[in-house]
Structure 1
C-alpha cells in the first residue's frame, strides 16, 4: 500500500480491521509463542517440523499486523450523512437496462471490496459512476465491454456489520 494513499473505510470496516489487529496482537501472538515454546522443548530444532511451522505462522501473523497497522494509519472513515445520495456505505438497488433485471450493490472503499458479497469499490467503474446519484437517476457506466445503463431504484444506508 502506498504510504500517502488514504484508505477509505466505512465505520464497520474500520471496526472490523481494528478488531482483527487486536486479536492478532493479543491472542494470536500469545498462541503462537506457546507453539514455539512447545516445539523448542522437543529438542533438535534443525529437524523439527512443528518449530518450522510455528515460526512460519509467526512470520505471517507479524506481516498481517504490519499490513493492518499501515491500513489503519492511513484510514479515513467516510462521511455518509448526505441522505439519499449514493456514497460509500450505501446499499443500492439498480435496474440493469440491458438485461431488464434488478441488481444490488453495496458501495465500499477499495480495501473492503468483495464482489462475492456484492460489495463494490468506489474506485471501480460502476462504483465511481454511481457516486452522488439519487433514486430515479439513470447512470451510464463506461466499461471495457461498452456502456452499461442503470436506473437507480433505491438508495439506503448499508448495514455492513458482518
Structure 2
C-alpha cells in the first residue's frame, strides 16, 4: 500500500476522533442495543435496528480511521527549514493580481482538506499549481471560473 501525506495536526484530529468513537460512542451504542433487546421481539423492534445500523457506521468509521493512520506519512512542517518554496504542509499567502485580494491556504492531505478553514488538499488544482514555486512567483491557476493569476507573497512553516 502506498503512503498518504498528512500533517501532524491532521493525524492528531484523527486520533482524537478514533479515541472518541472507541471510548464514548461504541459503549453508548452497545448500551442502546442492550436496552432495545429488552423490549422484546427483535424483528419489529425499530430501536434495535437503528442501534445496529449506528453500530455498523461506527465500526466502519473506526476501521477507516485506523486504515488512514496506518498508511499515513506524517509530515511535521515545523521541523523543515523554510526556503520560501511551496511544499506539502506549508501555509501560503497569495495575492490575486486582478482583484488585489489576499488569501491564505494551508496545503494538507486529502482527508484534512476543509475550505472553510482554508485547508486545501495537496491534490487540488490550486495546490498542484503552487507546489514547487517560490515566494514572489506569479502563477496562473485554472479554476472553474477561469484562469486566475496569483502572486505568492508568503510561505510559512506553521
Q: TM (normalized to structure 2)?
A: 0.88
Distance 1:60 1:144 in 2: 34
Distance 1:101 1:145 in 2: 16
User: Would you say 1:90 and 2:94 are equivalent positions?
Assistant: no
Q: 1:49 is matched with which residue? A: 46
Q: Which moved more, 1:120-129 or 1:56-65?
A: 120-129
Secondary structure of 2:93's aligned partner: strand
Matches within 5 A, 1:93-108: 93-108=93-108
User: Would you say 1:66 and 2:63 are equivalent positions?
Assistant: yes
Secondary structure of 2:136's aligned partner: coil
Matches within 5 A, 1:1-162: 4-80=1-77, 81-83=80-82, 84-143=84-143, 145-158=145-158
Residues 8 and 111 of structure 1 are in contact (CA less than 8 Å); yes or no, is this contact kept in structure 2?
Answer: no
Secondary structure of 2:39's aligned partner: coil
Distance 2:46 2:39 in 1: 11
Q: TM (normalized to structure 1)?
A: 0.86
Secondary structure of 2:110's aligned partner: coil
Cα deviation for residue 144 of structure 1 reads 5.4
CA root-mean-square deviation? 1.7
Distance 1:75 1:33 in 2: 30
- Structure 2 residues without counterparts, runs of 5 or longer: none
Could you list the runs of 4 or more consecutive aligned residues of structure 1 that deviate by over 6 angstroms after TM superposition?
Answer: none
Question: Could you report, residue by residue, the CA deviation over 1:44-90 in whole angstroms, capped at 9, with x for unpaired residues?
Answer: 11221111111111010011011111111110112521313322222
Secondary structure of 2:43's aligned partner: helix
Distance 1:34 1:67 in 2: 23
Cα deviation for residue 143 of structure 1 reads 4.2
Cα deviation for residue 26 of structure 1 reads 2.3
- Structure 1 residues without counterparts, runs of 5 or longer: none
